[in-house]
Structure formats: structure tokens, C-alpha cells
Amino acid sequence: MLERPHAPAHVQTGLIRIFHINHEPEPIKHVENIEKYNEEEGLALSLEEIEYLHKIERKWSSADRFRDFRIRSNQFGTLSA
């Protein structure tokens, strides 16, 4: 029978830590003009990618308006939960 070589303790316990990043993420940036931001930051987004971002931007905006409407309506008791 072949024996496996002894593995280090962190491998035996499954606690493999390949990367440790000690860095706080930057705050979320709100981008008003995707095309301008793409150019300034050198993102190289394609026209299709920019169109997709505009499409989901409109969906999120609609969802936000609906959520805000429900919140305001619930505050005044005009919409049941």
C-alpha cells in the first residue's frame, strides 16, 4: 500500500489560505455618464456593453421608483403589505 506524504496542518484541516487581502474596498462610485467614465477610466467597454448597462440602469430606476412608492404608500396606509 502506498502512503501519502504528510500534509501540512492547514491542508489537513482544509484551511487553505491562498490569498489574504488586507485592503478596504473603495466606496461605490455613482456614474452619471457611462460613456465618459468608460473613456476616462480606460475601461474599453464595447457599444453593446454600454447599451446593456443603460438597459439595466432603466430597470433599476423603475424598481427604485416602485419601491419608493410602496414605502410612501405604506407610511400613509394607502397600500396594504
- pLDDT tens, position by position, 14-68: 566 677 778 888 898 888 899 999 999 999 999 999 999 999 888 777 777 777 7
Residue 9: pLDDT band with limits 50, 70, 90: low
Q: What is the pLDDT of residue 70?
A: 73
Q: What is the DSSP letter of 63?
A: H
> How would you label 37-73 residue by residue, b for 16+ Cβ within 10 Å and e otherwise?
ebeeeeeebeeeeeeebeeeeeeeeeeeeeeeeeeee
> pTM score, two decimals?
0.48
Please indicate whether residue 56 or residue 11 has the higher confidence score (pLDDT): 56
Task: Record the cell numbers describing residue 66, joined without a space.
Answer: 416602485
> Distance (Å, rounded) from C-alpha 74 to C-alpha 72?
5
